[in-house]
Amino acid sequence: MMVMTKVVGPMASVMDRSAMFRQNLVDAGCDPQTVTCCMEGFRKSNQLEIERLLKQQRKKLLGDIHVGQKQLDCLDYLLYQLDRDRER
């Protein structure tokens, strides 16, 4: 079944882009303050500010990955030690 949507003019596409942009920020793990700041930059067409905020979020996520990797390495080492001790 095909659903037809009515486009109400140019404002509809701007609102759709805004809603999609906000959802993408949330999906990327941005906190509410970052979402608000990015949305303000979106409304003002301030691409440089948006890029700065997105790069900051990327740096945070990459840091989280590094912390997680270190934790995995510690667990792997503990499992290795347990396995080695069991074999003795």
Q: Is residue 8 over pLDDT 80?
A: no
18 within a domain of the structure (yes/no): yes
Q: What is the pLDDT of residue 1?
A: 47
Q: Measure the CA–CA gap between 7 and 42, rounded to whole angstroms.
A: 22
What is the domain count for the chain? 1
50 within a domain of the structure (yes/no): yes
Residue 52, CA distances (Å) to 20, 28, 45 in order: 19, 15, 13
Amino acid sitting at position 34: T
Q: What is the DSSP string of 14-31?
A: HHHHHHHHHHHHHHTT--
What is the mean predicted confidence (pLDDT) over 13-40?
93
Q: Which tokens in the block code for residue 69?
A: 């990797």
28 within a domain of the structure (yes/no): yes
More confident residue, 56 or 3: 56
Q: Of 57, 24, 56, which is closest to residue 39 (Cα–Cα)?
A: 24
Instruction: Report pTM.
Output: 0.73
Q: How confident is the model at residue 26 (pLDDT cuts 50, 70, 90)?
A: very high
Q: How confident is the model at residue 39 (pLDDT cuts 50, 70, 90)?
A: very high
Domain span including residue 37: 12-87
Average pLDDT, the chain: 89
